[in-house]
């Protein structure tokens, strides 16, 4: 951790209506996640004492903050093929291919979407930190589809706020095992870390509210093709919510490994072939719409299923007659 830092002090003279993490995010012009990190790292003191993110500042409080100076990134630009659907001075909309990790992390120091973005774009925002420049939201490694990327810090902050306010609409296409009960349904179940496996998420009491809207598109022999719209954006939300209803995403290696082997007779053979045709998690971020943070223009994008999933759909249609 760098020893260089910028110090801030806020003297509270009037009542504040927001808790500390939101207050700092607004005053420092950072994301709320970054504000929470500053508090958790002990970089925020209220009246020279330890602070908690839920604390609501009161008149007379003195808030001291130490913000590390961003270090120059050591990330390397890599010529990884990438479809760019839109680019301007503030942001870009790209199609992430399946199999590409979004940003560097242990086990994936390079060969990520961020490395590709550094090659294809002239700049990225610094708000995401050393390893996540430009990254406003994520897609799982095996999920393909649309993502918005920030090129300036101002755009990044505005997009993060819009995402938190549910003003960015994201839609997916997925294949799920079995048959959903209704043509349209909503799953409203809280999601949190699985206490038995910290690498997984689960529907659980005490988790954060998560809302997923589902529309049936096609019925096949042992699976359904569905459209999914996220009202909230929790980690693995689509995968966890569909699994919680007994209809996990086809070929999900985390939440439904080997699920196809649970069918019997012709359904079992068909399910096994669907997995082989898809070749990976059957989840694609197909729709993205947002308001441009600088111009106010409404931007809307759709991405067709990539070839592997499109061919699996054609096979499923033919064999489901």
Sign of CA dihedral 32, 148, 215, 242: negative
Element (H, E) at 188: strand 184-188
Element (H, E) at 200: strand 197-203
Residues 320 and 221 sit within 8 Å (Cβ to Cβ): yes
Triad 291, 292, 294: Cα angle to 5°:
135
Residues 89 and 20 sit within 8 Å (Cβ to Cβ): no
Check if 13 is active-site: no
150 vs 135: CA distance, rounded Å: 7
From 79, 88, 130, 140, the catalytic residue: 140
Helices (H), the chain: 20-28, 32-40, 113-120, 153-164, 237-244, 265-278, 307-320
262 vs 123: CA distance, rounded Å: 49
Bridge partners of 218? 225
289 vs 292: CA distance, rounded Å: 10
Residues marked as catalytic = 140
């Amino acid at each position: 951790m760098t020893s260089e830092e910028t110090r801030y002090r806020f003297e509270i003279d009037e009542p504040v209506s927001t808790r500390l993490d939101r207050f700092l995010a607004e005053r420092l012009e950072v994301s709320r996640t970054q504000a929470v990190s500053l508090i958790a790292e002990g970089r925020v003191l209220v009246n020279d004492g330890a602070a908690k993110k839920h604390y609501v500042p009161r008149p007379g409080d003195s808030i001291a903050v130490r913000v590390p100076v961003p270090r120059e990134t050591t990330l390397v630009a890599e010529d990884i093929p990438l479809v760019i659907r839109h680019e301007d001075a503030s942001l870009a909309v790209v199609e992430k291919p399946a199999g590409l990790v979004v940003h560097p992390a242990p086990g994936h120091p390079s060969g990520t979407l961020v490395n590709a973005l550094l090659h294809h774009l002239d700049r990225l925002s610094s708000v995401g930190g050393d390893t996540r420049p430009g990254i406003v939201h994520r897609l799982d490694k095996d999920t393909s589809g649309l993502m918005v990327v920030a090129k300036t810090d101002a755009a990044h902050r505005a997009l993060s706020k819009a995402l938190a306010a549910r003003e960015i609409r994201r839609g997916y296409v997925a294949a799920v095992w079995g048959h959903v009960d209704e043509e349209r349904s909503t799953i409203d179940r809280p999601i949190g870390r699985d206490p038995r496996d910290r690498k997984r998420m689960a529907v659980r009491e005490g988790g954060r509210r998560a809302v997923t809207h589902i529309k049936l598109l096609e019925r096949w022999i042992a699976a359904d093709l569905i459209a999914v719209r996220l009202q909230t954006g929790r980690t693995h939300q689509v995968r966890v919510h569909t699994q919680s209803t007994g209809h996990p995403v086809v070929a999900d290696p985390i939440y439904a490994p080997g699920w196809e082997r649970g069918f019997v007779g012709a359904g079992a053979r068909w399910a096994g072939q669907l997995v082989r045709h898809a070749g990976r998690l059957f989840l694609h971020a197909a729709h993205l719409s947002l308001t441009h943070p600088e111009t106010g223009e409404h931007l809307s994008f759709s991405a067709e299923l990539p070839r592997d999933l499109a061919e699996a759909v054609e096979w499923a249609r033919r064999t489901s007659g």
